[in-house]
Amino acid sequence: MLEPVNRPVPVGRTDGQARSAYFNRELSWLAFNRRVLEQARSPRHPLLERVRFLAIVSGNLDEFFEIRVAGLIQQVADDVAPSGGVDNIGAREQLRRIHSVVASLVEDQYRCWSEQLRPALAAEGITFAEAGSLTASEFAWVRTYFEEQIFPVLTPLAIDQSHPFPQLGNKTLNLVVSLDDPGTPQIDRHFAILPVPRVLPRIVGIDSPDADRLGRRFIFLSDIVKLCAAEFFPGYRIHGVHAFRVTRNSDLYIDEEEAENLLKKIEEELRNLRRGAAVRLEIEDGVDDQIFATLCDHLNLSHEYVFRLEGPVNLLRLMALADIDRPDLKYAPFQPVNASPLREPALVFDTLRERDVLLHHPYDSFQPVVDFVEQAARDPKVLAIKQTLYRTSGDSPFVRALIEASRNGKQVTALVELKARFDEANNIQWARQLEEAGVHVVYGLVGHKTHCKVALVVRRETDGKLRRYAHLGTGNYNPRTAKIYTDLSHFTARDDLTADAAALFNALTGFGRAPDFARLLVAPYTLHRRVLELIRRETAHAAAGRPARIMAKMNSLVDQAVIDALYAASRAGVQVDLIIRGVCCLVPGVPGLSENIRVRSIVGRFLEHIRAYYFHNDGASPDILAGSADWMPRNFFRRIEVVFPLLDPALRRWVTEDLFAIELRDNEGARVLTSGGGYLPVERAADEPSFSAQSYFLAAAVQRANLAQ
């Protein structure tokens, strides 16, 4: 459940009877991470998948501290006014509440590992050895491994007057050693740090003669270093060795107006990230008080940002364990189905001239998206390709296709978003490769991230006329994440949609200040205003006694104007169903304010990433939309986003009768947000069967594959 510290905060009256209320964004995000932790604790998932969920919790917390907590700490340090969040809670108070929630979350996470997952793994023959439990042959193997693989690459760093405190990299594994010289007992203890290079695996499989008898045995790298730490300090007596890890502010601070060369400026900032201010210290419990004080002092970190852990530091490293070869402890394999009308790459343009196509990833294969760009690169009739790249994969087929297209003499333009958080280095690499191949690389509008997912192809048809084809998506051009994120891909050759896509690219690559769009809703130009108009139209229908309904699926809902419009719609009688995976600042179910609004979150095998919206419009012609934008200020005003209408009748029916209808039936992976801030399981009758939307879509995909054979 969402921690009770995230109570709705009333902010001003919306009318004479009800007050607007909002949940805090940061605490709502932590509630999402607790729902991820629920998956690690749930026996409905296979054991190694539960381990993977536990690791994801740690990875999520890393990013939360690097960006969100770091920003709040900076606000406190700079003594700035509240950041203007919908709840208007000051940064200092937010940090206090965050600490309380995170402390509880981390405690439960480590309890899950020690009391549930580790014993369950042991029951399956997968155990973790500690120094005191090693057999003689295991001890010999570990010593040899240390001498051959670890000792040569570790460098001890003393801490004294002649050795300043070292610069410790962001999220790197380190061990602090307390020791003394038996020959000089009058001198206080010495301290040293052993930084562990990232190249070393954090979990080591023990390959000893006892393996056949003991089963799969692993040991944490930090435990090996602890066991053999004396080898680095001959003649000294070791008193204690404790692993720790520092998280640093990892946000980029770039003034684009002053950055003459944005690419070089971002490269420079990336090099500086490892020197960012410390925002969290994780350290094994039991560390000496003097060592603890020394670390906090040198890191300039107050104690509320320190977490003493009863277990291994950084459970994200358990992700490697989830990859071991035990198919019986994982989800049944699933191969995305390529049974769409676009399954023949050579016919992709012929097909799109006849009909629109909508794919539901990862159930539908992402390959047609790749084929669309690759076919365009090779088709001699294609004259130009324009594509946005926000996040893509290593060895990206899209980058290769754009390079091939340029070498084939086509006009190729790529809008590469350099500031895609934590993917900046990858995107710089792609940008340089594309430029070297002659692709026109553009970095979008100053002050705005290019977050939309659009690919546009211009082709000369047999009759000599030019025709445009477009792919519009809710997810990134990344074949790897397309296997684990739920997203929509829309392909069309409609003149109105493709003309809008062309106008978008012209605005992003040229000097268009206020482009005119006939069909697409584009941020920061038209999206926010149109969303409010659609909500208010439903409000007017309800006020006039006509049927009114809003359904929306997204990652986050934060924008106050949209929330207030939804509150007004609820008071007018509009029935509102929201499926929000992560942050939700709207408070549902409050009499006189939001009693007609229901909010649910689905967390499961796949990461729910679709943004789709339904506005009933009295049933005459519902607006059914999808796109790249959550309902957050950053998406409305600080990013380039594209939301597109679905116009084909069959595709519209699928979104209404399958996507929304099925996800609103989910009573297994779904949790319902209460007005008090908790997320509770969906209530169901005693004889009502369990139903999972993701399982339903998996089964439907398999059925489509069988029918296509």
DSSP state of 417: -
The Cα 489–Cα 454 span in angstroms is: 10
Look at the chain and report how many structural domains it folds into.
3
Q: Which long-range contacts (CB under 8 A, 24 or more apart) does 509-516 make?
A: 509/413, 509/415, 509/440, 509/442
Contact assessment for residue 337 and residue 365, using Cβ atoms and an 8 Å cutoff: yes
In the chain, the amino acid numbered 245 is: R
Least-confidence region, from 392-401, 641-650, 685-694: 392-401
538-554 residue pLDDT tens = 999 999 999 999 999 99
The answer to the question of residue 382 being in a domain is yes
Least-confidence region, from 380-394, 414-428, 575-589: 414-428
| Catalytic residue from among 45, 448, 451, 528 | 451
The Cα 499–Cα 358 span in angstroms is: 19
Predicted local distance difference test score (pLDDT) of residue 220: 95
Judgement on whether residues 536 and 515 belong to the same structural domain of the protein:
no
Least-confidence region, from 50-64, 425-439, 479-493, 670-684: 425-439
578-591 residue pLDDT tens = 999 999 999 999 99
Judgement on whether residues 513 and 566 belong to the same structural domain of the protein:
no
Domain limit, last residue, from 458, 491, 519 = 519
* Average pLDDT over every residue of 442-464: 88
Judgement on whether residues 384 and 414 belong to the same structural domain of the protein:
yes
The answer to the question of residue 354 being in a domain is yes
The Cα 615–Cα 652 span in angstroms is: 12
* Average pLDDT over every residue of 494-504: 97
If DSSP codes are grouped into helix, strand and coil, which group holds residue 693? helix
The answer to the question of residue 157 being in a domain is no
The secondary structure of the chain in percent helix, strand, coil, rounded to multiples of 5, reads 40, 25, 35
Q: What are residue 280's DSSP bridge partners?
A: 247
Predicted local distance difference test score (pLDDT) of residue 618: 94
Judgement on whether residues 372 and 446 belong to the same structural domain of the protein:
yes
We report the CATH number of the domain holding residue 645 as 3.30.870.10
> At residue 577, does pLDDT exceed 80?
yes
DSSP state of 347: G
The Cα 622–Cα 406 span in angstroms is: 41
The answer to the question of residue 142 being in a domain is no
Domain limit, last residue, from 117, 133, 151 = 117
Q: CA nearest 534: which of 516, 524, 515, 521? A: 521
* Average pLDDT over every residue of 186-209: 87
Judgement on whether residues 492 and 539 belong to the same structural domain of the protein:
no
> At residue 708, does pLDDT exceed 90?
no
In the chain, the amino acid numbered 70 is: A
Contact assessment for residue 679 and residue 671, using Cβ atoms and an 8 Å cutoff: yes
The answer to the question of residue 13 being in a domain is yes
How would residue 677 be classed by pLDDT, with cut points 50, 70 and 90? Answer: very high
- Which helix H or strand E contains 122, and what residues bound it? helix 118-123
How would residue 4 be classed by pLDDT, with cut points 50, 70 and 90? Answer: very low
Predicted local distance difference test score (pLDDT) of residue 183: 75
Measure CA 123 to chain center.
32
If one compares 159 and 419, the residue with the highest pLDDT of the two is 159
Contact assessment for residue 449 and residue 427, using Cβ atoms and an 8 Å cutoff: no
How would residue 163 be classed by pLDDT, with cut points 50, 70 and 90? Answer: confident
The answer to the question of residue 434 being in a domain is yes
Contact assessment for residue 625 and residue 645, using Cβ atoms and an 8 Å cutoff: yes
The Cα 412–Cα 398 span in angstroms is: 12
Judgement on whether residues 690 and 585 belong to the same structural domain of the protein:
yes
* Average pLDDT over every residue of 420-448: 72
> At residue 422, does pLDDT exceed 60?
no
232-281 residue pLDDT tens = 999 899 989 999 999 998 764 444 444 445 445 445 554 554 457 899 99
φ/ψ region of 616 (left if φ > 0, alpha if ψ in -120 to 50, else beta) reads alpha
The Cα 674–Cα 118 span in angstroms is: 33
Judgement on whether residues 485 and 361 belong to the same structural domain of the protein:
yes
If DSSP codes are grouped into helix, strand and coil, which group holds residue 32? helix
The Cα 194–Cα 156 span in angstroms is: 5
Known catalytic membership, residue 448: no
The Cα 290–Cα 191 span in angstroms is: 10
Judgement on whether residues 490 and 529 belong to the same structural domain of the protein:
no
The answer to the question of residue 62 being in a domain is yes
* Average pLDDT over every residue of 622-642: 96
Contact assessment for residue 427 and residue 416, using Cβ atoms and an 8 Å cutoff: yes
> At residue 680, does pLDDT exceed 70?
yes
Judgement on whether residues 511 and 527 belong to the same structural domain of the protein:
no
In the chain, the amino acid numbered 386 is: K
User: Could you please report the per-residue DSSP string of 603-647?
Assistant: -SSSEE---EEEE-GGGTS-EEEEES--BSHHHHHSEEEEEEE--
How would residue 180 be classed by pLDDT, with cut points 50, 70 and 90? Answer: confident
> At residue 82, does pLDDT exceed 60?
no
Domain, as residue range, for 25:
1-117
If one compares 226 and 424, the residue with the highest pLDDT of the two is 226
* Average pLDDT over every residue of 486-498: 98
Predicted local distance difference test score (pLDDT) of residue 431: 75
Tokens of 347: 């016919």
We report the CATH number of the domain holding residue 110 as 1.20.58.310
Tokens of 237: 């007596």
Tell the residue number behind the tokens 């690219």, with chain if given.
505
Domain limit, last residue, from 70, 91, 117 = 117
- Which helix H or strand E contains 399, and what residues bound it? helix 397-407
What percentage of the chain has pLDDT greater than the value 70? 89
Tokens of 316: 């994200």
> At residue 98, does pLDDT exceed 80?
yes
Contact assessment for residue 475 and residue 629, using Cβ atoms and an 8 Å cutoff: no
In the chain, the amino acid numbered 57 is: V
The mean predicted confidence, pLDDT, of the chain is 89
Judgement on whether residues 511 and 538 belong to the same structural domain of the protein:
no
> At residue 104, does pLDDT exceed 70?
yes
* Average pLDDT over every residue of 149-169: 87
Q: Using DSSP, how many helices (H) and how many strands (E) does the chain show?
A: 21, 29
The Cα 557–Cα 597 span in angstroms is: 13
Contact assessment for residue 56 and residue 629, using Cβ atoms and an 8 Å cutoff: no
The answer to the question of residue 122 being in a domain is no
> At residue 146, does pLDDT exceed 50?
yes
Predicted local distance difference test score (pLDDT) of residue 539: 98
Judgement on whether residues 486 and 540 belong to the same structural domain of the protein:
no
Predicted local distance difference test score (pLDDT) of residue 338: 94
Judgement on whether residues 608 and 704 belong to the same structural domain of the protein:
yes
Cα distances from 290 to residues 157, 189, 240, 284, 394, in angstroms, run 18, 10, 12, 14, 45
How would residue 45 be classed by pLDDT, with cut points 50, 70 and 90? Answer: very high
